[in-house]
């Protein structure tokens, strides 16, 4: 990620919707693909504050009405039904905003979703809706478990539970994952090195790209790297995993314990680690940390090498502050081979304009 600059000269960030120095509204301009100061023209319409751009903008409806987005639409492209930005138009279900606290949790989901889509755009990965002719069509459901009201003794029936996951283009995230207390409880319970909102998005988008780029296209190649996803079946593998736990010494071959469950989860965890790596390398590159590499053009060994070196620095920095390691994965030769598969898949899918 880059940092940006307000018209007043203050440094601004991807998540900002207001400059803390001059109090001007900020937003993402889809024309110059940049965070910008939203300048008001005389008639009150908004305009991109970058002089070379200057297009007329309107705030995304989720920005103007709910303040959970900070992106804008081009004014001439926005009709009555299209006042949602390029990222929000993928939302199929938003949380019930009559429930106290849900707007704040939705905001955290949207911030993570924007980070995800920014990285997909950086890598020029294809995605779109059915109307754009994409199959699978990308959509998000942000939903909470149905509250139990006065029947607290009863366990949740299956249909009342929301499972974070991917099915046929639809990514569902349980709103609970945006609650830091609940999320940390789950992280400790499942002995995970990290559990983050953006991490969920990166994992689920991997299943989306498996369907788009691997299924019925190059499944045999994928089996060579990750194992046979048809045998054992997913449900058998899942049952075994929850009965017996992860394979011993999994660190030699897998990025996480969960990746040992089934080849689909190994692919998803590896793909998510690749997106983590790209995001960290891109940030380091933009802020000018020495020894990095530009992750959209570098080859995989250079990226892995830079990420390992950067990981030592960033982990030590976190430890200095008493935080968990920023880069917990051990990128062994076998893990790097899986990353290479994901790298080649992504590079070959990149859409050249």
Q: Which of 31, 39, 107, 144 binds Zn ion (CB under 5 A)?
A: 31
Q: Which of 4, 15, 32, 223 binds Zn ion (CB under 5 A)?
A: 32
Nearer to Zn ion, 12 or 293 (CB): 12
The reply to whether 116 sits near Zn ion by the rule CB under 5 A is no
Q: In what order do the strands lie in the sheet with 91-93?
A: 91-93, 139-143, 170-174, 165-167
Nearer to Zn ion, 87 or 307 (CB): 87
User: In whole angstroms, how close is the CB of 300 to Zn ion at the nearest point?
Assistant: 23
User: In whole angstroms, how close is the CB of 272 to Zn ion at the nearest point?
Assistant: 9
Cα-based distances in Å from 166 to 64, 172, 202, 205:
29, 6, 11, 8
Q: Which of 3, 11, 21, 129 binds Zn ion (CB under 5 A)?
A: 21
SS (H, E, C) the chain: CCCEECCCCCEECCCCCECCCCCCEEEEECCCCEEEEEEECCCCCEEECCCCCCCEEEECHHHHCCCCCCEEEEHHHCCCCCCCCCCHHHEEECCCCCCCCHHHHHHHHHHHHHHHHHHHHHCCCCCCCHHHCCCCCCEEEEECCCCCCCCCCCCCCHHHCCCCEEECCEEEEEHHHHCHHHHHHHHHHCCCCCCCHHHHHHHHHHHHHHHHHHCCCCHHHHHHHHCCCCCCCHHHHHHHHHHHCCCCCHHHCCCCCHHHCCHHHHHHHHHHHHHHHHHHHHHHHHHCCCCCCCCCCCCHHHHHHHHHHHHHHHHHHHHHCCCCCCCCCCCCHHHHHHHHHHHHHHHHHCCCC
The reply to whether 29 sits near Zn ion by the rule CB under 5 A is yes
Nearer to Zn ion, 276 or 284 (CB): 276
Quick one: which of 189, 93, 180 has its CA closest to 141? 93
The reply to whether 19 sits near Zn ion by the rule CB under 5 A is yes
φ/ψ (deg, to 5) at 142: -110, 105
148-177 residues near Zn ion, rule: CB under 5 A: none
Nearer to Zn ion, 163 or 350 (CB): 163
Binding mask 61-80 for Zn ion (x = CB under 5 A): -x------x-x---------
User: In whole angstroms, how close is the CB of 291 to Zn ion at the nearest point?
Assistant: 33
Report how many residues bind Zn ion under the rule CB under 5 A.
Answer: 20
The reply to whether 268 sits near Zn ion by the rule CB under 5 A is yes
Nearer to Zn ion, 10 or 196 (CB): 10
Nearer to Zn ion, 58 or 85 (CB): 85
Q: Which of 3, 22, 93, 193 binds Zn ion (CB under 5 A)?
A: 22
Q: Which of 25, 88, 178, 198 binds Zn ion (CB under 5 A)?
A: 88
The reply to whether 85 sits near Zn ion by the rule CB under 5 A is yes
34-53 residues near Zn ion, rule: CB under 5 A: 48, 50, 53
What is the bridge-based pairing of β-strands 139-143 and 170-174?
A: parallel
User: In whole angstroms, how close is the CB of 248 to Zn ion at the nearest point?
Assistant: 22
User: In whole angstroms, how close is the CB of 30 to Zn ion at the nearest point?
Assistant: 8
The reply to whether 262 sits near Zn ion by the rule CB under 5 A is no
User: In whole angstroms, how close is the CB of 94 to Zn ion at the nearest point?
Assistant: 11
The reply to whether 335 sits near Zn ion by the rule CB under 5 A is no
User: In whole angstroms, how close is the CB of 106 to Zn ion at the nearest point?
Assistant: 12
What residues make contact with Zn ion under the rule CB under 5 A? 6, 8, 10, 19, 21-22, 29, 31-32, 48, 50, 53, 60, 62, 69, 71, 85, 88, 265, 268
């Amino acid at each position: 990620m880059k940092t940006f600059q307000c018209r007043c000269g203050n440094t601004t960030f991807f998540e900002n919707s207001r400059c803390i120095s001059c109090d001007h509204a900020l937003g993402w301009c889809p024309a110059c693909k940049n965070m910008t100061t939203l300048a008001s023209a005389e008639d009150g319409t908004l305009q991109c504050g970058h002089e070379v751009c200057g297009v007329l903008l309107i705030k995304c409806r989720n920005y103007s009405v709910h303040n959970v987005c900070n992106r804008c639409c081009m004014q001439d492209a926005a009709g009555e039904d299209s006042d949602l930005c390029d990222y929000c138009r993928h939302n199929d279900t938003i949380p019930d905003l009559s429930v106290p606290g849900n707007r704040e949790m939705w905001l955290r989901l949207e911030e993570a979703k924007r980070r995800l889509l920014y990285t997909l755009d950086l890598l020029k990965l294809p995605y779109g809706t059915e109307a754009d002719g994409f199959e699978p069509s990308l959509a998000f459901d942000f939903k909470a478990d149905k509250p139990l009201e006065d029947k607290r003794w009863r366990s949740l029936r299956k249909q009342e539970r929301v499972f974070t996951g991917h099915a046929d283009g639809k990514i569902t995230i349980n709103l609970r994952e945006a609650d830091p207390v609940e999320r940390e409880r789950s992280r400790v319970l499942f002995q995970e090195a990290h559990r983050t909102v953006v991490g969920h998005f990166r994992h689920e988008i991997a299943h989306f790209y498996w369907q788009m780029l691997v299924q019925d296209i190059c499944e045999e190649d994928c089996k060579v790297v990750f194992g046979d996803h048809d045998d054992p079946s997913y449900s058998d593998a899942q049952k075994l995993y929850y009965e017996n736990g992860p394979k011993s010494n999994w660190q030699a071959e897998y990025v996480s314990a969960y990746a040992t469950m089934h080849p689909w989860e190994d692919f998803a965890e590896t793909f998510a680690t690749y997106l983590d790596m790209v995001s960290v390398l891109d940030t380091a590159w933009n802020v000018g940390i020495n020894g990095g590499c530009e992750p959209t053009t570098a080859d995989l060994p250079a990226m892995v090498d830079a990420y390992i070196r950067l990981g030592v620095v960033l982990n030590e920095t976190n430890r200095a502050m008493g935080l968990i390691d920023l880069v917990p994965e051990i990128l062994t030769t076998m893990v790097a081979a899986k990353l290479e598969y994901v790298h080649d898949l992504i590079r070959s899918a990149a859409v050249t304009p």
